[in-house]
Amino acid sequence: MPLAAWAGALPAAIPSPSQGVWHLGPLPLRAYALCILAGIVAATLLTQRRWAARGGKPEQVLDIAFWAVPFGIVGGRLYHVVSSPDAYFGPGGDPWRAFAIWEGGLGIWGAIALGAVGAWIGCRRAGVRLPPFADALAPGLLVAQAVGRLGNWFNQELFGGPTTLPWGLRIDDAHLPAGYDSGTLFHPTFLYELLWNLAAAVVLVVVDRRRRLGHGRVFWLYVALYTAGRFWIELLRIDAAETVLGQRLNVWVAALVCLGALVAFALVGRRHPDRDTEVLRPAPGQPQDREHDPEQDVQQDVEQHVEQDPGAAVPATGTQAGQAAGSADGPLGSR
């Protein structure tokens, strides 16, 4: 088939799914929830492989996810409700819909913030250090967010402004925003973010493999890459949102968080340029991040020897021997 004919056979727009809910008897299966679940599964599988490569145990990922996932969902919903209150508490709003997570509406900023709290709790309970675990998790988070964006496609929500591009998104009249004619095509921001997140996940894996990043630097790079994409994608969206100084709130949040993540990435890199050597938390009573000191080990052996045999001669440590030699040499020995 000639290229022109093949191109002409392609659809001139991206169609929206005909439905986003299926029923198994009285049980509704919502595409939005299924996409989130699929994203969580994908992130878990990828994180298990990366965590094992860093020296952890794959089952620890499930233990931590048990805390991080519920915290992240609650945090995402809280941020969405707080940043878009009119739909729930404004004129004609229904406060009870704030609990209807299956209808869509999870703010990523709240999900990351409260999800991090859940991950911290899970890491402490599993005896795992948070920074290396966050580094193992970062690419999986991007994959989960990419898969989750398909839920917006099924719900026909959170799309961008009108466009004449061949990949414009067709929206059913029932979901068409006020003021737009039937058949208007819109920027498929769900697709833009999906592709951006997948590309960013590949970047994280490649950079981490070549530069051996650690101590949370992969996670901070994830935050920087995601928010950079979210910044320009947010500028395309036309759904109702709170504004600050004429711009959507999420535009400002993305810019500030991106800058903060870049600063954190640089500061941590100056202090810890190499990858973590330990992924487990120290046992109770064991000091954290203590530099190994052979001199101190010798001194401990000496003290133990004296306790066992007080009358025995005490062997000199390296420092003590050096001091004794210097005293015996006198002025000539220091030349």
Domains of the chain by residue range? 18-271, 295-324
- Who's near 13: CB < 8 A, 6+ residues apart? 166, 167, 168, 169, 170, 185
Contact 34, 24 (CB under 8 A): no
Q: Tell me the average pLDDT across 109-120.
A: 94
Q: Is 125 annotated as a binding residue?
A: no
Q: How confident is the model at residue 327 (pLDDT cuts 50, 70, 90)?
A: very low
Question: 298 pLDDT exceeds 70?
Answer: no
- Helix, strand, coil abundance in the chain, percent, nearest 5: 65, 5, 30
Higher pLDDT, 6 or 138: 138
pTM for the whole thing?
Answer: 0.80
Render pLDDT for 64-81 as a digit per residue (tens, 0 to 9): 999 999 999 999 999 988
Buried b (16+ CB within 10 A) or exposed e, 112-139: bbbbbebbbbbbeebebbbbbbbbbbbb
Q: What is the mean pLDDT of residues 124-136?
A: 97
Sorting pLDDT into bands at 50, 70 and 90, what band is 91? confident
Rounded Cα distance, 18 and 313, in Å: 88
